Amino acid sequence: MKTCKKCQITKPFDCFYTKSTNADGFQHQCKDCVKLRSSVWYHTNIEKGKEARKAWREANKEKVSEYLHEWRKNNPEKLKEGCAAWRKANKDRVAANAQAWRESHPGAITAYSAKRYASKTQATPGWANTKNIAVFYEFARLLSEWTGEPFHVDHIVPLRSKKVCGLHWEGNLRVIEGKDNLAKSNSFWPDMP
């Protein structure tokens, strides 16, 4: 048993952190008092610490950049997991940033839409039934409304990829959850080589 010099309560030794330079091998203050002192110090110096870290990063931009580049190269799985977790935890912020980007880059959005439309029209054969195609898009819209989750019309064989170009017709379409469609991208299709 040992008495804490801060709170004056006698406690068992496992309530104290070790300190090899002291005669009994334990700190003079109990763990609770040490934690309280650390918490008070942290909250009174939080702004000072932020400013100091910011000043150090500004003065060592190259060192920070090298470190981050090396960490990203060595930890791609952590980076991917971290980004996904951050996006999931900050859905509103991600959506607001995406909306702000779209509003500030209307030319890029128009160019993308025109390119996508052109690729669809060029990939739509004359025998495709446009009414049946429209049914897929209406079904995706309704599913999105009903479930509150985004649903997309997916081209089973992608319209454009490095190895294959599919057609925009009802036999190559399906309605799937948006997250699955975005994860698939244009890098997977049935019977791919």
* pLDDT on residue 29: 92
Range in 19-33, 55-69, 109-123, 139-153 with the lowest mean pLDDT: 109-123
Is pLDDT larger for residue 103 or for residue 189?
103
Hey, which residues does 154 pair with through a beta bridge?
Answer: 174
Q: Which residues contact 186 (CB under 8 A, 6 or more apart)?
A: 158, 159, 160, 161
The pLDDT tens digits for 45-54 are 888 888 888 9
DSSP 6-49: TT--EE-GGGEEE-TTSTTSEEEEEHHHHHHHHHHHHHHHHHHH
- Sort strands 26-30 and 2-3 into parallel, antiparallel or unpaired: unpaired
* pLDDT on residue 192: 67
Range in 43-47, 51-55, 59-63, 178-182 with the lowest mean pLDDT: 43-47
All domains of the chain in start order, with CATH: 2-59 (3.30.60), 126-193 (no CATH)
Residue 158 DSSP SS3: coil
Contact criterion met (CB below 8 Å) for 149 and 177: yes
Q: What is the pTM for the complete model shown?
A: 0.42
Tokens of 45: 């110096």
37: pLDDT strictly greater than 80? yes
